[in-house]
Structure 1
Amino acid sequence: MDLKLEIVVLPVADADRAKAFYEGLGFRLDADFSTPRGLRVVQVTPPGSAASLIFGENLTSAEPGSVQGIHLITANLEQTRAELIAGGADVSEIWHDQDGVFHWAGTANRVAGPNTEHNSYASFASFDDPDGNGFVLQQIVDRLPGRA
């Protein structure tokens, strides 16, 4: 079987505000169209990604801001963080988990600063879009075997 992630649907309250936010971050605008039935689809793609985000009007019944934990990976977390901040995102400080394992629930194990060994999969930062949809930035320099 060969499957690839293509799209993540984000629930937003204001499609134009979301579009401006993501374009400000440098995401590529792939589509922005409406249908006669009142459906609006906006598709943006993070730089270097094969998968995209879509949002709009009458696209999902999910509550704005209810999508959490979308991981965006980068080989240079400090540079990516700075670029996202320059683009308008309120990005957290860089952090790592005290036991080297990412914990989905809460922030109890977070330690300020990057992983001291600078291991792949071990340093993070995070930000929310204007609706509260949550993203995690994860530094990956060397991918584990079998991961493209």
Structure 2
Amino acid sequence: MDLKLEVLVIPVSDVDRAKAFYEKLGFRPDADFPVGDSFRVVQVTPPGSEASIIFGNGVSAAAPGSAQGMHLIVTDIEAARAELLARGADVSEVWHDADGVFHHAGTENRVAGPHPDRADYGSFASFTDPDGNEWTLQEIVTRAPGR
């Protein structure tokens, strides 16, 4: 059985502001369906991704800004960071986790700079949208076997 991730729903407080932010970052606008004042669905897709995000009015009961730990995979973290900065995102410096396995929640165990061996899955940078929903860039050039 194939189970493919299609959509993540993220909570935002201002739909138009979120839409403008993601489009400025280069996310492709896929849909904007307003259904009255209390229901609106906006779907955008990160460049090169098969999965999309949805936000809007009435699509999530979660508090705006509460989405955490969403990862965007890049093959060159420094180039991706530079492009996002140029598009207006406030992206952190590149970092790696001291334990070298994944990364801890928050900023615990962060070490400045990319992974010392530039190991796949080991270098990160992060940014938030205007509501505080957290995105993490993760550098992967060669995926683990079976991926």
Q: TM-score w.r.t. structure 1 length?
A: 0.96
What is the identity, as a one-letter code, of the residue corresponding to 2:145? Answer: P
Q: CA deviation at 1:37?
A: 7.0
Distance in 2, matches of 1:88 and 1:45, equals 18
Which of structure 1's runs of 4+ aligned residues deviate more than 4 A?
A: none
Distance in 2, matches of 1:37 and 1:130, equals 22
CA deviation digits over 1:67-90, x for unaligned, max 9? 000000000101110111111110
Q: Which moved more, 1:92-101 or 1:11-20?
A: 92-101
**In the alignment, what sits opposite 2:129?**
129
1:13-52 equivalent positions in 2, closer than 5 A? 13-36=13-36, 38-52=38-52
**In the alignment, what sits opposite 2:76?**
76
Distance in 1, matches of 2:63 and 2:106, equals 21
**In the alignment, what sits opposite 1:61?**
61
Q: CA deviation at 1:109?
A: 1.3
SS at structure 1 position matched to 2:59: coil
Aligned length in residues: 147
Q: Which runs of 5 or more structure 1 residues have no equivalent in the other structure?
A: none
Q: Which runs of 5 or more structure 2 residues have no equivalent in the other structure?
A: none
SS at structure 2 position matched to 1:11: coil
SS at structure 2 position matched to 1:136: strand
Distance in 2, matches of 1:110 and 1:30, equals 35
RMSD over aligned CA atoms reads: 1.1
Q: CA deviation at 1:103?
A: 2.8
Q: Which moved more, 1:66-75 or 1:108-117?
A: 108-117
**In the alignment, what sits opposite 1:91?**
91
Distance in 2, matches of 1:37 and 1:110, equals 43
**Percent identity of the aligned residues?**
67
SS at structure 2 position matched to 1:22: helix
Q: CA deviation at 1:116?
A: 1.3
SS at structure 1 position matched to 2:137: strand
SS at structure 1 position matched to 2:132: coil
CA deviation digits over 1:9-51, x for unaligned, max 9? 0100000000000000000000011124731011000000000
Q: TM-score w.r.t. structure 2 length?
A: 0.96
